[in-house]
Amino acid sequence: MSFHRSKHKESEEQETYQRNEVDRSQICMRCGMIGHSTINCKSKLPSIKDLKAEMNSRMLTNVRNAPKEWKEDEFGLYLPAEPRIVEIKQTWKEGKFCFNCAAFGHDIDECPNPPFKTVYGLFEPYLADNSSKANLEKQRIIGAIHKFNQNSQSKNQETTE
């Protein structure tokens, strides 16, 4: 038994394959199909009237299918922004604002909270050291900062109320 195909049958299959093979390097810019160039396209070019009608039809369909939350103005459809979740009681125009603690009523020079440089300066000697003594000192500093912040926050709340 021979499993080899005859040369005639093999060349016949190869010829059929080559005839059915699509030239994937060519894409038609008119119809979007692969295998031929725009110059060889058999599709007819739509008229400007047909293009306008198609565009208007698509836009009307989109407007009809738009969610109820969407609004329309002279520029088209849009989704209105959500209302603010956090109510803003003050703005920068109304007085002093602190860039250290993000509170109104005082500026950075009058801030009761320590600035970053001060806090970093406390930690700097212990940052590279991972000994138990250094870790205890870091925890002590963190605890002191938390306590300080809680005290200053309660004072800030008392003054704003």
Kindly report, residue by residue over 48-88, the tens digit of the pLDDT: 999 999 999 998 898 888 888 888 888 877 888 877 666 76
pLDDT of residue 1: 45
Under a CB-based contact definition with an 8 Å cutoff, are residues 29 and 38 in contact? yes
> Same structural domain for residues 70 and 52?
yes
Based on the domain organization, do 52 and 100 belong to the same domain? no
Q: Are both 108 and 146 inside the same structural domain? A: yes
User: Half-sphere exposure of 12 toward its Cβ, with a 13 Å CA cutoff?
Assistant: 5
pLDDT value at position 52? Answer: 94
| Domain-terminating residue out of 57, 80, 103 | 80
Mean pLDDT of the chain: 77
* Phi, then psi, of 76 in degrees rounded to 5: 125, -155
Asked if residue 53 and residue 108 are part of one domain, the reply reads no
Same domain, 51 and 63: yes
Question: For residue 108, what pLDDT is reported?
Answer: 85
Q: Report how far residue 58's alpha carbon sits from residue 76's, in angstroms, rounded to the nearest whole number.
A: 13
Long-range pairs, 148-154, Cβ under 8 A, ≥24: 148/113, 148/114, 149/113, 152/101, 152/112, 152/113
Write out the residue range of the structural domain in which residue 23 sits: 1-43
* Residues 20 and 75 both lie in one domain: no
Count the neighbouring beta carbons within 10 Å of the beta carbon of residue 104.
Answer: 16
Structural domain count, the chain: 3
Rounded to 10 degrees, the C-alpha dihedral 68/70/76/80 comes to 160
For 82-94, the pLDDT digits (tens) are 776 667 677 777 7
Residue 76 or 37, more confident: 37
